[in-house]
Structure 1
Amino acid sequence: MQRHLTVPRTARYQQLGEPSAATRQLWLVAHGYGQLAEYFIRHFTSVQALDPVGTVIVAPEALSRFYLSGTSGRVGASWMTSADRLAEIADQNTYLDALLHRLLRTCPPDVRVTVLGFSQGTATVSRWLTHLGGQWRPQQLVLWAGDFPADSEPGAAHQLLQDLPVVLVCGDQDEYMLPPQLLAQAESLRQHGAHVATLGFAGGHALHAATLQQLYEQAITHS
């Protein structure tokens, strides 16, 4: 018979900038499957440099790491698999709750928070925000090349998404998120009351520097 035991766990995250009374923009960015936060956050270096005093970007790393090929060499991380998925989702929610609490304690009350998930990270941040049950929401949610989970409890999803600005992003050559999927995702989120915008770029399943800068400039405009 399967049983569970809750144990302490050390999580790591990468950070650009230092939270302070001067912080105006806080971004929480979740990497995709097989990535590590130390490399993922490098994509945001030029964004944070636009306002190095007022902007902090934090990339949590998934709790499960593995060798990408064989039994040695490059390492990647995964937010979850199909094995014991509910426990993994609960663990990542606890992790992100604790990280958010730590960061908000050191930022001004009016800091503008953007939550961005890339690929597998889109489901991670969506489930996490839904689990918060309306206790806290970011000012903007960015889902890049991934889905808002279809198995989300409708009432909780509606509570999160009602009037929430959501940006869906993908490249025109993305092998995992095709244009019809993006449009269907946008319509589904609008049915929950989200204010949905879509952004595209020439490229595949990857982050895109100019589009990241565009997202940042939009966040500044609405702050």
Structure 2
Amino acid sequence: MNSIEAVLEVPSSLRYRLLVPEGTVKSIVYVLHGYGQLVEYFHLKFNGVHSDDTLFVFPEGRHRFYLKGTSGRVGASWMTREWREEDIRLNVLSLDLLHREIVQKYPAEKITVLGFSQGGATAARWVAFGKVPCDHLISWASVYPPDLTTEAHATVAKKCTFVLGTEDEYFPVSEQDALLAAYQSMGIHTVRFEGKHDIHEETLKSIL
């Protein structure tokens, strides 16, 4: 008996949430959440950053799971190490389709892509391989994807800002200076704030 792996293409969907300004949209900010988060709650962190002309778009990772055991709170993620190439491809494809839909209704002058934590790598890959005309990439407390080609890296790094809290529990304090120096040597602008692994409202306002 032979074991054969096969693939079947099936229709899928991408859930997202919007923070819509009162005035005419001049700027769009796509925000990609971190591991185990849902946009239903994650978007609330940006209520205080909302402006009169900026549309915030929060897509949700397609992988949803129970955060503990087999019941209770649910979170979402962008990918795992299993069949990662396919997850990367589908993430880029679905985000491209989302962008096409958004700009048909909200044409804008400026596009920003912000990736928080796990969402940062997905954001960088989307900017590198997708069709979004990104003016500014914000990689917030995230690991810059090491698998970008030299050409893709050149495109992404020059428009990227890396943001990190001084007390971020996922980035040991003893290693932060070396990490920031490495990013700076790649041409990436870096910003630090006093805080932990979270969105810092005043810092985000100043960057945007």
TM-score (norm 1): 0.84
C-alpha separation between the residues in 1 aligned to 2:200 and 2:144? Answer: 20
Which 4+ stretches in 1 moved above 3 angstroms?
none
2:30 is paired with a residue whose SS is strand
* Number of the residue aligned with 1:198: 190
Structure 2 counterpart of 1:161, one-letter code = V
C-alpha separation between the residues in 2 aligned to 1:136 and 1:58? Answer: 13
* Number of the residue aligned with 1:174: 168
Identity of aligned residues (%): 38
Change (3 A) 1:179 1:23: same
2:99·2:132 contact (CA, 8 Å) conserved in 1? no
| Structural RMSD (CA) | 1.8
Structure 2 counterpart of 1:64, one-letter code = H
Change (3 A) 1:19 1:125: farther
TM-score (norm 2): 0.90
Structure 1 counterpart of 2:191, one-letter code = L
* Aligned with residue 43 of structure 2, among 37, 41, 44: 41
2:72 is paired with a residue whose SS is coil
Q: Is 1:100 aligned to 2:99, yes or no? A: yes
C-alpha separation between the residues in 2 aligned to 1:161 and 1:92? Answer: 17
Change (3 A) 1:36 1:179: farther
Q: How many residues align?
A: 201
C-alpha separation between the residues in 1 aligned to 2:99 and 2:190? Answer: 26
Unaligned runs of 5+ in 2: none
* Number of the residue aligned with 1:215: 207
1:114·1:142 contact (CA, 8 Å) conserved in 2? yes
Once the two structures are TM-superposed, the CA of residue 83 in structure 1 deviates from its matched residue by: 0.5
Q: Deviations over 1:94-123 (max 9, x none)?
A: 110100111111223x52111000010010
Unaligned runs of 5+ in 1: 191-195, 217-223
1:147·1:185 contact (CA, 8 Å) conserved in 2? no
1:64·1:79 contact (CA, 8 Å) conserved in 2? yes
2:126·2:132 contact (CA, 8 Å) conserved in 1? no
2:205 is paired with a residue whose SS is helix
Q: Deviations over 1:55-77 (max 9, x none)?
A: 11001000000000011111000
Q: Deviations over 1:141-185 (max 9, x none)?
A: 100001221111112222x237x4321101001122333212212
* Number of the residue aligned with 1:26: 28
Once the two structures are TM-superposed, the CA of residue 41 in structure 1 deviates from its matched residue by: 1.0
Once the two structures are TM-superposed, the CA of residue 40 in structure 1 deviates from its matched residue by: 1.1
